[in-house]
Amino acid sequence: MKINIGILGSGNMAREHIKVFQNLNDFNISGVVGRGKNNINITKKKFPQLSFFNSLKDLFEHKKIDLLVICINEELVIKAYKEILKYKCVFLFEKPLGINFSETKRIFEYSKKNQKIFISLNRRFHSSTLLAIKLLKKKINKDPLTLFINDSQDIPRIKKLGLSNRLAKNLMYTNSIHLIDYINIFIKEKIKLVENVIKFKKKNPKYVLSYIKFGNGNKVIYKANWSERERWLINVSSKKISFSFQPLEELKINYPKNINLKKNYNYFDKKYKPGLYNQAIEILKLFNNKKNNLVKFKEYLKGVEIIKKIYEN
């Protein structure tokens, strides 16, 4: 039996999800609810076989939906989440689920009894990330980890591209969440200390530098540049191991050099938007009642809370 999928949204991310699901035999795209005439026309032209609907109500009245993938503008989520969550299905929200802490917390409190809400953090499912997780599971490393995160948002450039002031001010929640999420991927202990060495200045954002200490000696050094463009970088190290992501799609093992990770996941990250194919496989596990690594709302909120400790304390 196929898993019936509804897509809310018809922009670029919606098309990336459609591309993956339509090439997997276990899924059937039952319908798309478009938002924005231009995006609808582009999506219809690219996927002429799909059925389009004017509203969620129309979609759910005419089609059986097992999974609803929500790919709407970040600023619309806070206005639409109650309407979306009244339907009975599994939900996969493109990040962010709320463009700041208060919005995210409000949605969480409203929906925390719903165990069928997942967040699409596709970097978790990059081939590079999965290989790094596999590397740490080889048990060659039992020493505390140090994560160095180099973040960059370049507000002046982003504003010139037409991003609203409201979104520009909240990029730590809407975009930096991808980098912050690597903390939750590799460190499972609770935070003991957050020391903001260079604090975020809302009126004139430039540099941010924070030191985060966890249990068992794990620690994070987080650096962000909000006035110039830099490449994102994640470095993970201990006494016995060091690896890095730059770009995030590539895993570089700095040492030990003799590590051989045979399995190559890269094919699907080249064919589709990186991470989306591997995430779709996790969705399939969910519907087959198997253990999966989809990101639950509570796990996503942990990353949002770390951002608040860095940027609002």
DSSP string, 159-185: HHTT--HHHHHTHHHHTTHHHHHHHHH
The model's pTM is 0.94
More confident residue, 55 or 138: 55
- CATH class held by domain 124-261+297-311: alpha beta
The whole-number pLDDT of residue 51 equals 95
Average pLDDT over residues 305-311: 97
Mean pLDDT of 139-148: 81
Report pLDDT digits (tens) over 4-63: 999 999 999 999 999 999 999 999 999 999 878 899 999 999 999 999 999 999 999 999
Burial 191-222 (b: 16+ CB within 10 A, else e): beebebeeebeeeebeebebebebeeebbbeb
- The residues pairing with 8 across neighbouring beta strands, listed in sequence order, are 33, 70
| pLDDT above 60 (res 267) | yes
Query: What are the start-end ranges of the E strands in the chain?
Result: 3-8, 27-33, 52-53, 67-70, 90-94, 117-120, 146-152, 191-198, 207-214, 219-225, 233-237, 242-245, 251-255, 295-296
Mean pLDDT of 88-108: 97
User: What is the structure's pLDDT at 306?
Assistant: 98
Per-residue pLDDT reduced to its tens digit, 176-229: 999 999 999 999 999 999 999 999 998 888 999 999 999 889 999 999 999 888
CATH number of 3-123: 3.40.50.720
Residue spans of the domains in the chain: they are 3-123, 124-261+297-311
In the prediction, which pLDDT does 139 show? 55
Q: Taking CA 132 as the corner, what is the angle to CA 231 and CA 91, rounded to the nearest 5 degrees?
A: 85
Instruction: Write down the pLDDT at residue 161.
Output: 78
The pLDDT confidence band at residue 257, using thresholds 50, 70 and 90, is confident
User: What's the mean per-residue pLDDT of the chain?
Assistant: 93
Residue 101 has pLDDT above 60, yes or no: yes
Q: What confidence category does residue 245 fall into, taking pLDDT thresholds of 50, 70 and 90?
A: very high
Band the pLDDT of 265: cuts 50, 70, 90: low
pLDDT the model gives residue 264:
57
Q: Say what the pLDDT of residue 263 is.
A: 59
